[in-house]
Amino acid sequence: MKKLPILLSFSLLALSFSCTDDQDPSVTDLDAPVIGFAEGRDSFRPMANEVRAATTDHMHIRFSVTDESGIGQVLVDIHNTFDGHTHGRLSNTFEKLSVKDIYSANAENPIFRFPVGAKTLNVDNSSTDIYWAGPTSRVEGNVLAGPYDIIISAVDIHGNQTGFADESNYITTFFIERAYAPVTEVTNLHDGEIEGEAGEALAVEGSISKGNHELSSEIKFVWIRLVEEDDHQGHNHGRIKDGEFYEKMWGKSTWRQGLEGEDLPNNTSLNLSEILSGENAIILPAGEDHLELIIWVEDVQGNVTQKTYEVHID
């Protein structure tokens, strides 16, 4: 059998694999590798919409890849989703987390190597953790707080690759919180939910404020939405769509083109019950049981804090 070279091509969104020669006609394996949970686990890490609190400095990576013919290469790609994949300006004080770890039989980093022809790769070890602070940090300075996408892709020895169209890649968003990012607090939670009645204004008590860290900066943009559950990736551009029941913005977004609203009443502290009153009140719709309130806040340095609260409607 002719040995097929595999070409890796990276982009911000995906890993594309291709073979430089025609497929050997004797190869009958046309199935891509299978990306699944690590051995003995019942979920991936990071999990969907996982939040890494300001007190943490790393992310555990947990998954497995299997292929009956043999695994060729695996890519773990992490990149920011602050701007819906457009280009926002960034303060020199902060750096976006960007990771492209390639697992293969001849990987440059021995941590990412596996035996030639291996049919199984299990990743669930502290040595593959991804740090954004400390001596093994993937950033040189301060990581920018906010949402990040992780994409895990794989190709086998014949060039069969996982993809987006059939959802065989693993892709999800997780959030990095930092002490210097804006602080959002809702104080009237009952069993972790905000409660309200259909047809009435939702009472939201709490605040949005500048942090107390020496690197904290003033609030630049606030974006509040009420949406159906699990509709909070935020990749749309701020327009009311199916599954969205409320939207209000103050200030101008650094990251998301075209998103801006009326002037912020204060750039260091905002009272949620005050800004969500009067004509800005959130009127709860009838016929819904649970929705999600999403509060997205940017500071002038580009840090983002997003909080999601479950809303129970009687």
Q: What pLDDT band is residue 257 in, cutting at 50, 70 and 90?
A: confident
Q: What pLDDT band is residue 9 in, cutting at 50, 70 and 90?
A: very low
Supply the Cα-derived Rg of the chain in whole angstroms: 22
Q: What pLDDT band is residue 231 in, cutting at 50, 70 and 90?
A: low
What pLDDT is attached to residue 92?
Answer: 78
Q: How far apart are CA 71 and CA 104, in angstroms?
A: 8
* Residue spans in the chain of domains classed CATH 2.60.40.2550: 183-313
179: nearest Cα among 130, 217, 223? 217
Residue reference for tokens 């709490």: 206
What pLDDT is attached to residue 239?
Answer: 40
Long-range contact set of residues 285-291: C-beta below 8 Å, sequence gap at least 24: 285/198, 285/245, 285/313, 286/198, 286/199, 287/198, 288/198, 288/245, 288/313, 289/313, 290/229, 291/226, 291/227, 291/228, 291/229, 291/245
Q: How far apart are CA 2 and CA 98, in angstroms?
A: 36
- Rounded mean pLDDT of 242-262? 92
Task: State both tokens at 86.
Answer: 């457009």
The tens digit of pLDDT for each residue in 92-102 reads 789 999 999 99
Q: Do residues 200 and 262 make contact, with C-beta atoms less than 8 angstroms apart?
A: no
| Whether the predicted pLDDT of 232 surpasses 70 | no
What pLDDT is attached to residue 72?
Answer: 98
Round the average pLDDT of the chain to a whole number and report it: 88
The tens digit of pLDDT for each residue in 65-94 reads 999 999 999 999 999 988 754 444 556 789
Instruction: Find the angle CA(98)-CA(103)-CA(106) to the nearest 5 degrees.
Output: 125
Strand order of the sheet with strand 34-36?
A: 34-36, 63-66, 120-123
The tens digit of pLDDT for each residue in 16-55 reads 444 434 455 566 778 999 999 999 999 999 999 999 999 9
Q: What pLDDT band is residue 105 in, cutting at 50, 70 and 90?
A: very high
Q: How far apart are CA 88 and CA 223, in angstroms?
A: 17
Q: Is omega for the bond preceding 147 within 30 degrees of 0, making it cis?
A: no
Number of CB atoms found within 10 A of residue 310's CB? 15
Query: What stretch of H or E contains 275?
Result: helix 272-275
Q: What percent of the chain has pLDDT over 90?
A: 80
Structure pTM?
A: 0.85
- Rounded mean pLDDT of 184-210? 98
Number of CB atoms found within 10 A of residue 161's CB? 21
CATH, domain 183-313, list 3.40.50.2300, 2.40.50.100, 3.40.190.10, 2.60.40.2550? 2.60.40.2550
Cα dihedral 219, 50, 149, 63 in deg (nearest 10) = 160
